[in-house]
């Protein structure tokens, strides 16, 4: 496995290949990321992982400075998972000058849910992902592929729309959320949890499952009953010591409020102690 740190070196490493499959990450890898690598392997003629903690998607009060940087351990895991090339640029390589040009996604999809509680988050994500695509696929002769986890459901949707609206010749592939034995969605931020918090953390996915069941039971009265069901779910989690940002049932197609008969996804974000966790469940 080759590890490269500059844009020029990545382009040179990918030059002989026709159709790279890219897995963008911020490192501190867990089994969920490795599933993305395994999903990417058959989709291209070279598998590339990027490891870059992207300052642009963090608000000043968020965990950019403390986000774990574990490149050596990440590379060992990536090699074992069959990754061919790791792109681990420094901030100077990715942003040699202030990134004044940015990708501003449609507010209809990017200013709700995560975007409401993390203003600017999706501008940062889209900007770095667009840049990673330009770097990784510039030499591609065929169609490139990029694999993202379904755990970041809204991110996946925003990126799909970006690719569609900019007509990028890139296929976006979703890989299912990986969960610990108790059902907690794997996330790099789980590492911030104390032992007690770790035992409690599964309650977010349980709350989403319960809300999903309630939503399905509401059937034709879904739109009418949903605000009260969501409110009850948030209160139940708050009573356990969480600070929920949102627990909500949305239409899968566009993450807007659903009507009876729509395919549904339940999404939630909540803080447990200092750790903010997100999860989702299609129901
Ligand atoms: O999901 C992530 O880890 C990040 O948002 C991504 C897509 C690598 C962009 O920095």
pLDDT digits over 148-174, tens only? 999 999 999 999 999 999 999 999 999
Quote the pLDDT of residue 246.
98
pLDDT of 218 strictly over 90: yes
Quote the pLDDT of residue 56.
98
Could you read off the pLDDT of 220-275 as tens digits, one per residue? 999 999 999 999 999 999 999 999 999 999 999 999 999 999 999 999 999 999 99
pLDDT of 111 strictly over 90: yes
Do 117 and 269 contact (CB within 8 A), yes or no? yes
Find out if CATH 3.40.50.12780 is the number for domain 188-282: no
Q: Where in the chain is the domain with CATH 3.40.50.620?
A: 2-175
Buried b (16+ CB within 10 A) or exposed e, 99-122: eeeebebeeebbebbbbeebebbb
Q: Where in the chain is the domain with CATH 3.30.1300.10?
A: 188-282
Could you read off the pLDDT of 44-55 as tens digits, one per residue? 999 999 999 999
E-only strand ranges, 136-282 = 144-149, 170-175, 243-251, 264-272, 275-282
Find out if CATH 3.40.50.620 is the number for domain 2-175: yes
27 lines ligand 1 (CB under 6 A): no
- The token pair at 168 is 């990028």
Could you read off the pLDDT of 41-88 as tens digits, one per residue? 999 999 999 999 999 999 999 999 999 999 999 999 999 999 999 999
129 lines ligand 1 (CB under 6 A): yes
Could you read off the pLDDT of 24-36 as tens digits, one per residue? 999 999 999 999 9
For ligand 1, atom 3, which residue shows the shortest CA distance?
25
- Can you tell me whether residue 37 is helix, strand or coil? helix
> Best substitution site from 89, 114, 130, 152 to test ligand 1's pocket, by max atoms within 8 Å of Cβ?
152
Q: Which residue matches tokens 């574990």?
A: 70
Quote the pLDDT of residue 143.
85
In the predicted model, what is the mean pLDDT of the chain?
Answer: 97
> Best substitution site from 58, 115, 127, 128 to test ligand 1's pocket, by max atoms within 8 Å of Cβ?
128
pLDDT of 140 strictly over 90: no
Quote the pLDDT of residue 142.
79
d(CA 80, CA 76): 6
pLDDT of 89 strictly over 90: yes
Query: Which of ligand 1's atoms lies nearest the C-alpha of 159?
Result: 7
């Amino acid at each position: 496995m080759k590890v490269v740190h500059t844009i020029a070196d990545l382009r040179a490493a990918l030059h002989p290949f026709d159709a790279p499959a890219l897995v963008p990450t911020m490192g501190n890898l867990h089994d969920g990321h490795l599933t993305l690598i395994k999903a990417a392997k058959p989709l291209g003629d070279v598998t590339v992982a990027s490891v870059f903690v992207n300052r642009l998607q963090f608000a000043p009060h968020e965990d950019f400075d403390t986000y774990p940087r574990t490149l050596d351990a990440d590379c060992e895991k990536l090699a074992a998972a069959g990754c061919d090339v790791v792109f681990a640029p420094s901030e100077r390589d990715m942003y040699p000058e202030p990134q004044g040009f940015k990708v501003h996604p449609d507010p209809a999809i990017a200013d709700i849910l995560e975007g409401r509680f993390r203003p600017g988050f999706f501008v940062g994500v889209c900007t770095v992902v667009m840049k990673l695509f330009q770097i990784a696929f510039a030499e591609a002769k065929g169609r490139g592929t990029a694999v993202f986890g379904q755990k970041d459901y809204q991110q996946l949707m925003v990126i799909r729309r970006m690719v569609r609206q900019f007509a990028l010749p890139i296929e976006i592939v979703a890989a299912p959320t990986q969960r610990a034995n108790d059902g907690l969605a794997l996330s790099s931020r789980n590492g911030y949890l104390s032992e007690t918090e770790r035992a409690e953390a599964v309650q977010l996915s349980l709350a989403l499952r319960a809300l999903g069941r309630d939503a399905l039971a509401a059937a034709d009265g879904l739109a009418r009953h949903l605000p009260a069901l969501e409110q009850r779910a948030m209160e139940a989690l708050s009573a356990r010591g969480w600070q929920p940002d949102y627990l909500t049932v949305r239409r899968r197609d566009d993450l807007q409020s659903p009507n009876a008969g729509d395919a549904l996804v339940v999404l939630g974000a909540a803080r447990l102690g200092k750790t903010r966790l997100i999860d989702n469940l299609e129901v």
